Structure 1
Amino acid sequence: MTLLSLGVVFVFAAVLLLGGALFAPRNATVPLDRRRPVQNQPDSPLTRFAGSAVQLVDRLFAKRQVRLFNREAIENAGLRLSQADFLVLVLAGSFVGALTGFVISGPLLAIFLILVAPLAGHLVLGFLGGKRRSLFDQQLGDTLQLLSGGLRAGHSILRAIDAAATESLSPTSEEMRRVVTETSLGRDLLASLNDTAKRMQNEDFVWIAQAIQINREVGGNLAEVLDQVSETIRERSEIKGHIKSLAAEGKFSAYILMAMPIGIVAVLMVVNPGYMNVMFTHALGWGMIVASAVLMTIGGLWMRKIIDLKF
């Protein structure tokens, strides 16, 4: 009897639900909040302040034609920022560094950190640009395979470059897409390829541009030419890897020799804090510190020249 009662209840509930669905009014109105268009959330005060600061810096430096950071360096670093945006970030870093230095040590350290901030910005741009160029060089073999495959499929060189831009990873995709865009706007293909090679500082890509230009002037099977260039580039990359592995020991020795004096001084200051005070309180000590810094810089540049092999 219990199961029968439960079955009757379930059937009755199903009939009610079905009836409500069938006889519900068809012109039911949608709630007002769902019919309103989507509204973007208002910007926060910090966002508005940052935008105003960027506009102020842009107008200030545009009138005086001052460029502290090169626009090409920012683009080569892969940052989607304008010069004013990056300068505002550097100014914010300078302010934070100055405030931290003033709280920790006083105005001297604060002024030092303010002066270091622009140098740190240039170093960051250089590091990101070098990393991006290294990735482009590593992806160049795959890019050539995509270009030769597109040419064998019957596409034109511009269509093959467009396909390579779609299939490749960053930064190759960004550079190939830029070549396609510039060519679509009427610029010569060889000029766009040469600019890409100049931005990426890649000699192998110069060979690719020259091979494409020679093929456009003379004719022939460009896919086979690109395959031969790809094989040459792969052999060069293999030799470059061997050279890096052979020079790794020299680089490691140079790092140890450069870090050893600083490490010894740091250990002495921790073990016996008063032992090194005379170096910072006497004029002769400051002279020895300056002379040591100059000699270490010369030695570092000398060792870098020795282990930086060109081929």
Structure 2
Amino acid sequence: MAHLRGSDRGQLMLVGALALAVLFVSFAFLLNTAIYTETVASRGTGVEAVDVVGYGNAATEATAGTIDRVSVGGNDSYDSIHRNVTAAIGDWDDGTARQYASEGDAPSTEVASVTNGTRIVQNETRNFTDASASEDWTLATDVRTRNYTMAVEDGGLAGDATNAFNVTFDNGSATYSVRMYDPGSGVEIRTTDGDGSVVGTCDRPGPSVRIDFAAGTANGSSCDALDFYRTLEGDYEVRYANADNVSGTYSLTASVRHDDLAGSNFVAYGGDGPFRSTAIYSADIEVVYRSPTVYYRSEVTVAPNAAEVAA
């Protein structure tokens, strides 16, 4: 076996140390490269996710706005408002596609189907009786509703709950009656269930109160008397009682065709009293997002200002 001199051992140790140093540097470089690559990939995925979600939200908002616009434009035929919705979303899709194309992405939105509806409206301030001045009457049966709002004036209300105007929602398994009256301090809103138990109350100062059922608000702030609306499942009946003990306006969109509502309950379109007009209740849209690294497809049901509960 050869014997190494001291100087040879020193040189060998130096070479070994240099080799280890090169190895450690190479390992650190590879590790940093892997971390950097993973970070870039994660950032890319995050950016894509933001783009997809943002586009989907924009498509939903554009569709909701379109549904509302065509539904209040007049008493047109259903074929006409279907064409208007499809054309408007097509125009929006063309415009946004050009914007995204500059980034190499190709999103698209199209209307897959629509659900016909009917707007029930009273624009003139008066009591809530029907066209025949009936105090107790049914607005719609076997429906869901959206965009249901009321503006009620305290001067036309009864002074107690017994004789109060009330609107009742009945789906066959649950019943909720919303009473509105003025005990002398403003508008009291009280909801009872089918057993007569109070499930929520709130009060607002007069002279008028705006109620939004889907938002669960009275004059813009939360009212627990309206919480039930967001728990109603399936279709239900909507009816008024003591409708001569209230004064104001209201509007809603029901998920049935114009001809499915009792015509005798309504005045002519645009008249002084409750009237009905053709509308779109909801639309199903197909949203697709394509990019060099992502393919996303979803079908979304858009029903503006509807309660988000299982149908």
Q: Which has the higher strand share?
A: 2
Answer whether TM exceeds 0.5 for this pair. no
> Scaled by the length of structure 2, what TM-score is found?
0.24
Considering Cα pairs closer than 8 Å and 6+ residues apart, tell me whether 1 or 2 has the greater RCO.
Answer: 2
